């Protein structure tokens, strides 16, 4: 008979270790934050695997390093295009509009076009990847709120879709209820959060 109260106390203490994350998702409308309905919210448990996957998607050194690297690549493509353009000019002066001149012109155009269309924006973590990494998913209700329940203690990331971009908020579940609101100004991009894990 003594075992039964101890077992009940043990089960109660284990149940008390579970927590929840609640919050709301906000987007900006005319400069004011408004709660949004029907937006996807994902809960990702922070683990070595998640750190590794997020860091593999995101550039080393963050957004500034990414822009610098791609800016250098754009300049390289421009200089190659200019070299082909110079060669095409020399070829035309010697032989007119020859087959070689047309090849050089096409190469110059190709490199110039590549330079012009080089996107220097850092990559984002895709919705598909977020869904695969997540342990739970919710949608915001009419009041913009969401809730994840029955969570063990630990570190998590809340990712919410705001205006076609997922914004991330780190959260630690250490008690019964933790609040994590997600807004454009109070959150980070996936790659920014990956750099801090």
Q: What is the 3-state secondary structure (H, E, C) of 5-20?
A: HHHHHHHHHHHHCCEE
DSSP-assigned beta bridge partners for residue 33: 28
- pLDDT single digits (tens) 56-71: 887 776 667 777 888 8
Give the pLDDT score at 62: 67
Tokens representing residue 23 in the block: 């919050």
Which of these CATH numbers, 3.40.190.10, 3.40.1390.30, 2.60.40.10, 3.40.50.1370, describes 19-58+123-194? 2.60.40.10
What CA–CA distance (Å, rounded) separates 177 from 157? Answer: 15
Confidence of residue 163 (pLDDT cuts 50, 70, 90): confident
How far from chain centre, in Å, is Cα 115?
Answer: 25
SS3 state at 158: strand
0.85 surpassed by pTM: no
Q: Is the pLDDT of residue 116 over 50?
A: yes
Mean predicted confidence (pLDDT) in 36-53? 92
- Helices 99-116 and 62-95 sit at what angle, rounded to 10 degrees? 160
């Amino acid at each position: 008979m003594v075992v039964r109260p101890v077992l009940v106390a043990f089960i109660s203490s284990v149940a008390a270790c579970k927590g929840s994350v609640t919050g709301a998702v906000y987007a900006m409308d005319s400069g004011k934050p408004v709660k949004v309905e029907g937006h996807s919210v994902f809960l990702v448990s922070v683990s070595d695997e998640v750190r590794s996957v997020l860091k593999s998607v995101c550039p080393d050194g963050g957004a500034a390093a990414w822009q610098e690297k791609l800016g250098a690549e754009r300049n390289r493509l421009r200089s190659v295009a200019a070299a082909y353009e110079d060669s095409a000019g020399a070829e035309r002066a010697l032989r007119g509009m020859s087959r070689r001149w047309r090849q050089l012109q096409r190469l110059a155009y190709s490199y110039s076009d590549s330079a012009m269309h080089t996107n220097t924006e850092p990559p984002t973590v895709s919705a598909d990847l977020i869904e695969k990494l997540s342990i739970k998913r919710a949608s915001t209700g009419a009041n913009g709120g969401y809730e994840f329940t029955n969570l063990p203690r630990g570190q998590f990331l809340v990712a919410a879709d705001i205006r076609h971009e997922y914004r991330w908020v780190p959260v630690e579940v250490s008690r019964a209820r933790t609040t994590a609101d997600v807004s454009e100004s109070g959150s980070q991009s996936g790659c920014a959060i990956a750099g801090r894990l």
